[in-house]
Amino acid sequence: MRCAARRWPAPCALPAPPRSLTLVPCARRCTRPLPRAVASGCRPRRPCAWPGERRDRGVEVDQVLVCAGVRSRAILERLGHAVPMIAERGYHIRAQIRDEQTGWPADLPPVVFEERSMIVTRYRDTVQAASFVELGHPDAPADPRKWARLERHVADLGLPITGPYQRWMGCRPTLPDYLPAIGRAQGADNLFYAFGHQHLGLTLAAVTADLVTALIDGATPAVPLAPFDLARFA
């Protein structure tokens, strides 16, 4: 049996899991909890408000950007958009590196175990095994059998990863054509949106920010945004 592989000796990677990143500039500006946005503050063409919210508690803003992942669907559908987005739920387990000599190597790039549909990634002081794609409701309970199966894969393969494990399940915002939604809302001239990046939210964050900045500023985006407009689902 012949085997083939390709190795990138210096891949780009985060030193720590994404949720541990700190948005320092925002943290410096935000000295109090941000209030919930209400649609009445977005100047919709017809009356609109969130259930349980009073109009006089809205927040006056010049522009609003909806980038709330799978939760963006409910916001944009209230303004008349069709948003056929689903939660593409993924599972992973993560363990601390206790011994650099015997643990998962720090210089090893992400490794895919194709026959088990599992990828193992080293971070600064943890190692993570991830797998599974589960289409469902974002609020549905996690399936503990999937974490248990990941732990069995690690044990069966004899990987240098030891528990206890931190278990995680998250919802990737995925649209039917696997393209993100980037554009201006049809019900409010100062409401913009950027979501639906499925597995690539962090990867595409910077270029999406550039595109949205150009759109809000009235400049010409670097690429045409028509393919990403929610009008494609109308």
Query: Considering the domain boundaries, does residue 200 fall inside one?
Result: yes
- 223 in the same domain as 197: yes
Whether 22 maps to a domain, the answer reads no
The mean pLDDT of the chain is 81
Residue 131 maps to a domain = yes
Question: Structural domain tally of the chain?
Answer: 2
Torsion of CA 185, 204, 86, 72, to 10 degrees: -40
Instruction: With a cut of 60, say whether residue 189 has pLDDT above it.
Output: yes
Cβ atoms within 10 Å, residue 205: 14
- The two tokens of residue 91 are 């599972």
Q: Which of 139, 171, 203 is the last residue of a domain?
A: 171
Q: Please indicate, yes or no, whether residues 93 and 154 belong to a single structural domain of this protein.
A: yes
What does residue 70 show for φ and ψ, rounded to 5 degrees? -65, -20
Which amino acid does the sequence have at 120? V
- Does residue 20 lie within any of the structural domains? no
User: Are residues 158 and 129 part of one domain?
Assistant: yes
Which residue range is the domain that position 213 belongs to? 36-85+177-233
- Distance between the two ends of the chain, CA-based, in angstroms? 50
Q: How confident is the model at residue 199 (pLDDT cuts 50, 70, 90)?
A: confident
Distance CA 130, CA 116 (A): 10
Query: Is the Cα dihedral 121, 173, 177, 193 positive or negative?
Result: negative
Give the tens place of pLDDT for each residue, 41-90. Answer: 444 443 444 444 445 555 677 888 999 999 999 989 988 899 999 999 99
What CATH code is carried by the domain that includes residue 111? 3.30.70
For the stretch 75-134, pLDDT in tens is 899 888 999 999 999 999 999 998 888 889 988 899 999 999 999 999 989 999 999 989
∠ Cα 197 203 205 (to 5°)? 70
**111 occurs within a structural domain:** yes
Are 97 and 118 in a shared domain? yes
Asked if 178 and 200 touch (Cβ cutoff 8 Å), the reply is no
Question: 25: buried, middle or exposed (CB in 10 Å: 19+, 13-18, 0-12)?
Answer: exposed
Q: Which residues pair with 192 in a beta bridge?
A: 65, 184
Q: Is residue 12 part of a domain?
A: no
**Do both 66 and 125 map to the same domain?**
no
In this structure, the chain runs to a length of: 234
- Are 101 and 113 members of one domain? yes
Looking at the fold, whether 49 and 158 belong to one and the same domain comes out as no
